[in-house]
């Protein structure tokens, strides 16, 4: 009998004393656990899509530290600026249908607004300038008047900052540079792009988004972040001295966000899961989203920073020409208390997304934590221990 059992062991695994290498998901989960512990992150979810379409997801830590609620792989968090990739894709779709032109001045669609001539560079800004952050417009999010107004109205049950009010914060401000002559990240660009989408389609941005992108690609966990109570939302955690003077915990005792998330609108404006975000990255960057070729428009970039930067920004997507794993496409996202990342590695056909329920130590000007997590998860997935080029992918200060 013992001989028979030993033979079975040999046939099944080569030897009963031989440890099989962990599978991809196990390696991915183990690395996610290590990341959560090392960086003292309350909770994190992550997911990947392989070149053959295989999808897997994982979670680690807590979705609510006070209540002791474990993070699940279907726990949702704000996708923040990753939402810009949806906005840009809709604009490209409308351009393919010849309902707008990316390089035509936005005055065609926004010129009738009574504030339009107070917009810096208003005569020369095109839709492409907005989508690539090359418009020269300041970012309303960091205008002192906006941060003060949001801090003072955070408990409102209604969104007190519709798109046109957001635009007001940058009117009559000096342009950062002539349109097309530089790069500066600005959520205001995408608020204006949202207004263009609604002017062209004559329906709401969220309805257009649902009909064209969310429903067709079964992104059922991705919905508008347009109310203070959001289903399956993890509690987020931020610094006590945060920019908007929000409470440290993003949810109140009834599970409502401490501010109205609709203020983000087309600057982000979505709540999602890592699994949905990874799937979105897969279909977007493998050319499956629109009927005609659109990747050339999506990846037509403007250089980020000065000189020979290896980072460009296309239409709602950051393009890294050189990383540990070759070129990388994607976007990071930050909203108070939450951080997200979506990366697609074209040489491997792999998409990875993760979401974290804190911004402490993640989005700091002197921190490379986000890039470190991105690289570690990809290395675990690909079973690689070293970087090809010796370079790191800088995610700080760029999307």
Task: Name the CA radius of gyration of the chain, rounded.
Answer: 22
Query: What is the per-residue pLDDT for 15?
Result: 32
State residue 362's pLDDT score: 79
Among the residue ranges 95-104, 165-174, 266-275, 383-392, the one predicted with the least confidence is 383-392
Task: Please say if the pLDDT value at position 55 is more than 80.
Answer: yes
Range 299-323 average pLDDT: 89
Q: Which of 181, 203, 224 is nearest to 86 (CA)?
A: 224
Nearest 5°: CA angle at 305, between 279 and 131? 50
Q: What's the confidence (pLDDT) of residue 138? A: 97
Q: CB neighbours (10 Å) of residue 275?
A: 24
Write down the pLDDT at residue 305: 79
Residue 210 neighbours by CB under 8 Å, 6+ apart: none
Instruction: Report pLDDT for 62.
Output: 98
Residue predicted with more confidence, 181 or 367: 181
Least confident of 26-30, 50-54, 120-124, 363-367: 363-367
pTM: 0.91
Helix axes 84-96, 274-285, angle to 10 degrees: 30
Query: What pLDDT, on a 0 to 100 scale, did the predictor assign at position 364?
Result: 60
The string of DSSP letters for 6-20 reads HHHHHHHHS-TTPPP
pLDDT at 309: 73
pLDDT of 397 higher than 90: no
Q: Which domains does the chain have, with CATH numbers?
A: 21-382 (3.40.710.10)
Span between the terminal Cα atoms of the chain, in Å: 62
Residues 384 and 377: beta-carbon distance below 8 Å: no
* Higher local confidence (pLDDT), 20 or 145: 145
Q: Compute the distance between CA of residue 115 and CA of residue 259 in angstroms, rounded to an integer.
A: 27
Largest CA distance in the chain: 90
pLDDT tens figures, 35-49: 999 999 999 999 999
Letter string b/e over residues 77-97, b meaning 16 or more CB atoms within 10 A of that residue's CB = bbbbbbbbbbbbbbbbbbbee
The pLDDT value given to residue 60: 98
pLDDT band at 361 (very low <50, low <70, confident <90, very high): confident
Total number of residues shown for the chain: 399
> H-type helices in 106-240, by residue range?
107-110, 127-131, 144-152, 163-168, 187-201, 205-209
Average pLDDT over every residue of 367-389:
83
Q: Which helix (H) or strand (E) holds 395?
A: none
Q: Is residue 10's pLDDT more than 50?
A: no
pLDDT at 391: 44
**pLDDT reading at 16 higher than 60:** no
Percent of the chain residues past pLDDT 90, beyond the cut: 83
Count Cβ atoms within 10 A of the Cβ of residue 263 and give its class: 0-12 exposed, 13-18 middle, 19 or more buried: buried
Is the per-residue pLDDT at 329 higher than 60? yes
**Better-predicted residue by pLDDT, 338 or 22:** 338
Whether residue 296 has pLDDT greater than 80:
yes
pLDDT value at residue 154: 86
**What local confidence, expressed as pLDDT, does residue 163 receive?**
97
Say what the pLDDT of residue 385 is. Answer: 61
Q: How confident is the model at residue 31 (pLDDT cuts 50, 70, 90)?
A: very high
The better pLDDT of the pair 203, 309 is held by 203
Sheet holding 328-335, edge to edge: 69-70, 55-64, 43-49, 350-356, 338-345, 328-335, 318-320, 311-313, 302-303
Phi and psi, residue 249, nearest 5°: -95, 135
The pLDDT of residue 135 is above 60: yes
Helix, coil or strand: residue 191: helix
Instruction: Report helix, strand or coil for 92.
Output: helix
Q: What is the pLDDT of residue 363?
A: 65
pLDDT of residue 393: 40
């Amino acid at each position: 009998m013992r001989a028979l059992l030993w033979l079975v062991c040999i046939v099944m695994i080569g030897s009963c004393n031989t440890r099989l290498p962990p599978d991809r998901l196990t390696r991915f989960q183990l690395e996610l656990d290590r990341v959560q512990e090392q960086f003292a992150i309350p909770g994190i979810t992550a997911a990947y899509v392989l070149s053959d379409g295989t999808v897997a997801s994982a979670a680690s830590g807590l979705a609510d530290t006070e209540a002791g609620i474990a993070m699940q792989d279907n726990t949702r968090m704000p996708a923040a600026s990753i939402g810009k990739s949806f906005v840009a894709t809709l604009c490209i779709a409308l351009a393919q249908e010849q309902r707008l032109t990316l390089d035509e001045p936005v005055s065609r669609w926004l010129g009738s607004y009574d504030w339009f001539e107070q917009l810096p560079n208003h005569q020369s800004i095109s839709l492409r300038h907005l989508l690539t952050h090359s418009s020269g417009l300041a970012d309303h999010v960091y205008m002192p008047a906006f941060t003060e107004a949001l801090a003072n109205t955070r408990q409102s049950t209604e969104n007190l900052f519709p798109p046109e009010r957001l635009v007001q914060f940058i009117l009559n401000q000096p342009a950062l540079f002539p349109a097309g002559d530089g790069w500066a990240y600005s959520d205001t660009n995408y608020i204006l792009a949202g207004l263009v989408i609604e002017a062209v389609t004559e329906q709401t941005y969220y309805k257009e988004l649902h009909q064209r992108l969310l429903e067709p690609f079964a992104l059922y966990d991705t919905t508008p972040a347009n109310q203070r109570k959001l289903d399956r939302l993890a509690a987020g955690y931020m610094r006590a001295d945060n920019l908007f003077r929000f409470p440290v915990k993003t949810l109140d005792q009834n599970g409502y966000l401490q501010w109205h998330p609709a203020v983000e609108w087309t600057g982000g404006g979505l709540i999602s899961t890592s699994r949905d975000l990874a799937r979105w990255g897969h279909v977007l960057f493998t050319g499956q989203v629109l009927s005609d070729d659109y990747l050339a428009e999506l990846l037509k970039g403007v250089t980020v920073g000065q000189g020979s930067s290896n980072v460009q920004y296309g239409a709602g997507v950051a393009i890294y020409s050189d990383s540990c794993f070759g070129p990388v496409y994607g976007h990071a996202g930050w909203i108070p208390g939450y951080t997200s990342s979506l990366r697609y590695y074209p040489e491997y056909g792999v998409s990875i997304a993760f979401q974290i329920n804190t911004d402490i130590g993640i989005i700091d000007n002197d921190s490379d934590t986000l890039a470190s997590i991105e690289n570690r998860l990809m290395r675990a997935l690909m079973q690689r221990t070293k970087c090809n080029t010796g370079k790191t992918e800088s995610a700080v200060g760029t999307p």
